[in-house]
Amino acid sequence: MSTNETDTIAEGVASTETAQPPVETPPAENQNRKQPFPRGFLDTISTGWADRPEQLPPARAQAPYAAARRDAVSAAFPGKRLVLPAGTYKQRSNDTDYPFRAHSAFSHLTGWASDSVPDSVLVFEPTGDQGHDVTLYLRERADRTTAEFYDDATIGEFWIGPRPALAGVASDLGLQTAHIDDFDAREGDVILEKDADLTRFVSELRLVKDDYEIAQLRLAVEVTGRGFDDIVSDLDRIVETPRGERAVEGIFHHRARVEGNGEGYDTIAASGPHACYLHWTRNDGAVVPGDLVLVDAGVEVDSLYTADITRTLPVSGTFTDVQRKVYETVREAADAAFAVAKPGVKFRAVHEAAMAVIAQRTAEWGLLPVSAEEALDADRGGQHRRYMVHGTSHHLGLDVHDCAQARREMYYDGILEPGMVFTIEPGLYFQIDDLTVPEEYRGIGVRIEDDVLVTEDGVENLSAAIPRTADEVEAWIARLRS
């Protein structure tokens, strides 16, 4: 039974919190799956339950980090009442919703992650001393004597399981809590996603990661690496599956759910010519020996931090000469980006270093109508971008494309600082019908993507344990496939 589906026998409606005779349901909504509760159910449903003693948990590891982030927000908005909603369910179809995930800024400032509940709101109430009292409003679990307990399939504990109590959440997060019914929206509230300054600030607040965030990103990368191992180990079965791309996606999903919250984004499992489509998530094609399969996937751990890794694998276990040439050129571009990434360098310099290699090699192969130097001209160039249209890097954290609302001067034109985490992901994509390239190149798509942490003197490749050179990839497949 899906999360929001309800049983046609058990489900019904009650007009009050106490036992009442069966009532007619309102005709305004579709009641095909609703039946009135009989008197016996209503007379007994609130009795016979064991007590639930409240054991207050200690504050979770991220609580002090979240408190420091809230202090930064408070200092930036003196005298302002700030409202940051977690968000609510989003309908998938009819009475079925997508799994709930809190807004990243809400999670960042509360420390509440995969276990947060919908419709919660974090409120910064200004005080006389220019600081703020911060309160987390949430819907506390309903007492079992109320109709909500058994009647509401969206929030009732009879349907979805235990809900957190106010005191438990307060102790867990180190935050003052109150019932959501006590929250009042006011004129003049500064609301996340509606106020550009607040939205920008909480996005830029995540540009430099603290120790907790870095540890969680390491964990996400580590689990993602095991997911890639699973794929390589199962290549033979993947090949035998008519929709082998779906098999790749499913194998990775198993690891993501077993060791994390899920995936941080839709997995790209792109085999053969599909690898040339940058955001191929249909994943309905076969995985054919002789082709390459490009897998772009990342595990989101329970803290909601996600990895973002891409590896391109030769399905047969070894690269052809042309595949190897393209693959190693992409790796050369990535290595050039690694070489320039260090504190004090502009973020866009990482992309420029990778693109210089792409322009040079595609010019050498005779694919460009101009020289590499001309292609790299900021105003009149760009011919090489036909084969790599995307950027080389993006910030990474709670969102796969983290800090997206930051100002350009803080992001693309920003200066690298220790604690920043981002991707390095050059690629080359020669679409199957691209007549500007020789036939032997057509249908080859390669991307190599790693997650890096800026250190005091360079960058650390957090995903270095996942094989990335052509030789390493072939050895990886040979070792795990056997």
Per residue in 61-105, pLDDT tens?
999 999 999 999 999 999 999 999 999 999 999 989 999 999 999
Residue 272's Cβ-count burial label (10 Å; 0-12, 13-18, 19+) is buried
Q: Which residue has the higher pLDDT, 19 or 114?
A: 114
Task: State pLDDT tens for residues 311-325.
Answer: 999 999 999 999 999
Q: Does residue 454 contact residue 343 with C-beta atoms inside 8 Å?
A: yes
Q: Which two tokens stand for residue 462?
A: 């957090």
Q: Which residue intervals of the chain bear CATH 3.90.230.10? A: 211-481
CATH 3.40.350.10 maps onto the chain at 63-204
Integer distance in angstroms from the first to the last C-alpha of the chain?
39
pLDDT at 28: 54
Question: What pLDDT score does 229 carry?
Answer: 98
**Percent of the chain surpassing pLDDT 70:** 93
Confidence band, pLDDT 50/70/90 cuts, at residue 33: low
* Greater pLDDT, 29 or 115: 115
Compute how many other C-beta atoms are within 10 angstroms of the C-beta atom of residue 360. 21
| Confidence class for position 14, pLDDT limits 50, 70, 90 | very low
Contacts of 92 (CB under 8 A, 6+ apart): 98
276: helix, strand or coil? helix
141 pLDDT band, cuts 50/70/90, is confident
Q: What is the pLDDT of residue 17?
A: 35
Residues 217-235 have a mean pLDDT of: 98
Judge whether residue 436 has pLDDT over 50: yes
Rg of the chain on CA atoms, in Å? 26
119: DSSP letter: T
Pairing mode of beta strands 190-191, 82-85: parallel
Distance CA 259, CA 230 (A): 13
Residue 143, pLDDT score: 81
Lowest pLDDT segment from 51-60, 209-218, 303-312, 393-402: 51-60
| Beta-sheet pairing, 292-297 with 262-263 | unpaired
pLDDT bracket for residue 23 (50, 70, 90): very low
More confident residue, 147 or 257: 257
Q: Say how far residue 234 (Cα) sits from the centre of its chain.
A: 25
Which of 352, 335, 346 is closest to 452 using CA atoms? 335
Residue 233 pLDDT exceeds 80 = yes
* Least confidently predicted of 24-28, 119-123, 203-207, 343-347: 24-28
Please name the helix (run of DSSP H) or strand (run of DSSP E) that holds residue 430, with its range, or none: strand 427-430
What is the spatial distance between Cα 45 and Cα 17, in angstroms, rounded to a whole number? 11
Q: Which residue has the higher pLDDT, 145 or 91?
A: 91
Tokens of 237: 């079965």
Looking at residue 24, what is its pLDDT? 43
In this structure, which topology does domain 211-481 adopt according to CATH? Creatine Amidinohydrolase (3.90.230)
- pLDDT for 128: 81
What confidence score (pLDDT) does residue 129 get? Answer: 77
Quick one: pLDDT band at residue 1, thresholds 50, 70, 90? very low
State the Cα–Cα distance between residues 472 and 314, nearest whole angstrom.
12
pLDDT of residue 271: 98
**How high is the pLDDT of residue 31?**
65
pLDDT of residue 22: 43
Name residue 80's beta-bridge partners. Answer: none
Each residue of 378-430: pLDDT tens digit?
A: 999 999 999 999 999 999 999 999 999 999 999 999 999 999 999 999 999 99
pTM for the full predicted model: 0.92
275 close to 292: Cβ distance less than 8 angstroms:
yes
Tell how far CA 361 is from the center of its chain: 33
The confidence score (pLDDT) of residue 32 equals 65
pLDDT higher than threshold 60 for residue 370? yes
Q: Which CATH number fits domain 63-204: 3.60.15.10, 3.20.20.140, 3.90.550.10, 3.40.350.10?
A: 3.40.350.10
Average pLDDT of the residues of the chain: 93
* Closest listed residue to residue 150, CA positions, set 29, 65, 312, 37: 37
Query: What's the whole-number mean pLDDT along residues 229-246?
Result: 98
Q: What is the mean pLDDT of residues 269-294?
A: 98
